Chain A
Amino acid sequence: DAGITQSPRYKITETGRQVTLMCHQTWSHSYMFWYRQDLGHGLRLIYYSAAADITDKGEVPDGYVVSRSKTENFPLTLESATRSQTSVYFCASSDGVSVTEAFFGQGTRLTVV
């Protein structure tokens, strides 16, 4: 199916564990993004990628790692999860040609206990 998909949709993990959130898009968009959504903060950019093998930090990158070996995939890894990383995570993509809109996945609700 065409679009952008995130997995898992829901995840509970323990403090200190490593967890990876997956994001896959079928449009061959050059840009991909990871945001976290928290009450009172809206969406905040964690990392973004302009192309395969090119990534850059956003507003709140600490504690997260990303990679982009293929254009269609952009996984987000929490190397050692903390309770403050409990959030809803959204992946998005855009073609970045004329600052078009970003298309969002359905989100991953992550709870760190």
Chain B
Amino acid sequence: AQSVTQLDSHVSVSEGTPVLLRCNYSSSYSPSLFWYVQHPNKGLQLLLKYTSAATLVKGINGFEAEFKKSETSFHLTKPSAHMSDAAEYFCVVSDRGYSTLTFGKGTMLLVSP
């Protein structure tokens, strides 16, 4: 069975400061991991994905995530937050060979001027 825990339901940062959104996963097999973003009243957009290549994954809009197997973590980071980053972020896991995705409950990122 696979599961995802997003450790913070809300994260507040100031514009220009670093962003850290935390995610821990549980998986029976070597997982694929994803971060999706959802802006208000919009669909979900893929930010980045890990599929057992490099452990440091770069995504769109300056985001990146590091896969740490020993810690079963896949935290999302960005060096400098922008107002347009305010959205809800979902960490997602999928076991290899099993194509359904399991979502975390989401982290709302709030960015203040």
Contact = CB atoms under 8 A, between A and B. Distances in A.
Nearest to A103: B46
A33 B49 contact: no
Given A40-B105, A42-B105, A99 B94 contact: yes
Nearest to A95: B99
A94 interface: yes
Interface string B80-112: 000000000010001111111111111000000
A56 to B, nearest CB: 9
A90 interface: yes
B7 interface: no
B99 A96 contact: yes
A74 interface: no
B56 interface: no
Interface stretch (A14-22, A44-52, A60-68, A79-87): A44-52
Given A42-B90, A42-B103, A107 B51 contact: no
Interface residues of A, number: 26
Contacts of A104: 36, 43-45
A75 interface: no
Contacts of A112: none
A50 B104 CA distance: 23
Contact of A98 (B46, B51, B100): B51
Nearest to B106: A42
A101 B105 CA distance: 18
Interface of A: 31, 33, 35, 40-45, 48, 50, 58, 90, 92, 94, 96, 98-107
Interface of B: 32, 34, 36, 42-46, 49, 51, 90, 94-106
3 closest Cβ contacts across the A-B interface?
Answer: A42-B105, A96-B99, A43-B103
Given A42-B103, A102-B101, A104-B43, 13 more contacts: A35-B103, A42-B104, A42-B106, A45-B101, A58-B100, A92-B44, A92-B101, A99-B32, A99-B94, A99-B96, A101-B34, A101-B46, A105-B43
